[in-house]
Amino acid sequence: MNIPEVKVPRVVIVGCGFGGLQLASGLRNANVQVVMLDKNNYNTFQPLLYQVATAGLEADSIAYPIRKIFKNQKNFHFRWCEVTGVNEANSVVETSIGSLQYDFLVVATGSTTNFFGNADFESNAMPMKSVTEALDLRSRILQNLEEALLTSDIKQQEALMTFVVVGGGPTGVELAGALCELKKHVLPNDYPELDLRKMRVILVENSAELLGAMSEINQQKAKKYLEDLGCELWLKTGVAKFDGKQMQIRDGKILQTSNLIWAAGIRGVPIAGLPPDCITPRGRIVVDEYNKVASTRNIYAIGDVAMMPQPNFENGHPQVAPVAIQQASLLAVNIVRVQHHKELVKFVYQDKGVMATVGRNKAVVEAGKLKFGGFLGWFAWMALHLMLLVGFRNKIVVFINWLWNYINYDRNIRLIIRPFKKDKV
């Protein structure tokens, strides 16, 4: 792998998501060598993937080259590769480009779509957990609208124009709202020959409410915002089957649709070679209050892939960015404390709140006892996401796109750059 040999501990970080990025930055001035391994050469700002999928942003405005992020960090090295496993006995991580010795190994591989073992959904539904998946989804939406123009079969046309989003969490709510805004403000200008009254956006949620982590008042606000935009809400509804042409819900009802977007769950992405008893059924790695993997000497896990049982979080912390950032920040401190033989600091999650946007001037925010929505919530949502974006250029590009879209009700990136091949699903 051609990593320089140095006389300081080597910290190998697998994954450059929120956690990996924060950890590497936190070790900037530490007396360690930082080696980051990732299957992509860029960091992705996942909260805005849905805007790439709905033509609000281009992919390069939410992705940033890893090497550029750390270009001034002297103790940092990056290698683009797939991690295939770990040999814990010999402190070696195995990759597609060779093996590497480590003193500390940190698994920050994040999460992927959880289809809950349903092969139909995995084969035919559209996920949205990566830049490539978001681009595929954008192409598929636009291609189906183009195909709807060509058919004289009314039922087929309606199926091509029916968009089902499964999952009533923040991702599902935000995606459904964006699709409704496309239908209302953008698509009528692009497709005057289509009767867009036939276009349906349906949000399917298994439970009785949307945004289950939020208070009832904000759940109701989100529900009203979506209904005002024309979204159909199918609550207390479970999806049983989807073959790419029709969806069947658990009560037997059939819906003709060519578009089912899966936002109903995530699972961790552990690496091979870890003790099997430390991996939960949902792919999360059990760690202690210092983020060390159970039954190992020097392997740690942070973020979505980590499961730290604590009194208020018996099933682990929520799989959200603030958890990953806070765990990474503390682990950077604890790695330095290990070197100096100091007592380690236990992790305590500081809940900063939760937010979700539904559309223009429509968002819900909770921070402690503070609960608000509407334009103020939407503004707070935008400000926070701009602040968290990596790279000054990306912040400016996203801000200009949002400003243009706000003024003109337009989304300029309705481009089928690489046509989606349906046999990929």
Q: Which residues are catalytic?
A: 174
What distance in Å separates the CA atoms of residue 163 and residue 231, rounded to the nearest whole number? 10
Beta strands 299-301 and 306-307, pairing class: unpaired
270 token code pair: 């552990």
Contacts of 109 (CB under 8 A, 6+ apart): 14, 15, 17, 83, 268, 269, 270, 271, 305
Non-local (6+) Cβ contacts of 225 within 8 A are 177, 358, 359, 362, 364, 373
- Measured between alpha carbons, how far is 264 from 360 in angstroms, rounded to an integer? 24
Most distant CA pair in the chain, distance: 74
Q: Of the candidates 380, 397, 361, 121, which has an alpha carbon nearest to the alpha carbon of residue 263? A: 121
On the CB side of 377, CA atoms within 13 Å amount to 24
Give the separation between CA 81 and CA 79, rounded to whole angstroms. Answer: 6
Beta strands 83-87 and 92-95 are: antiparallel
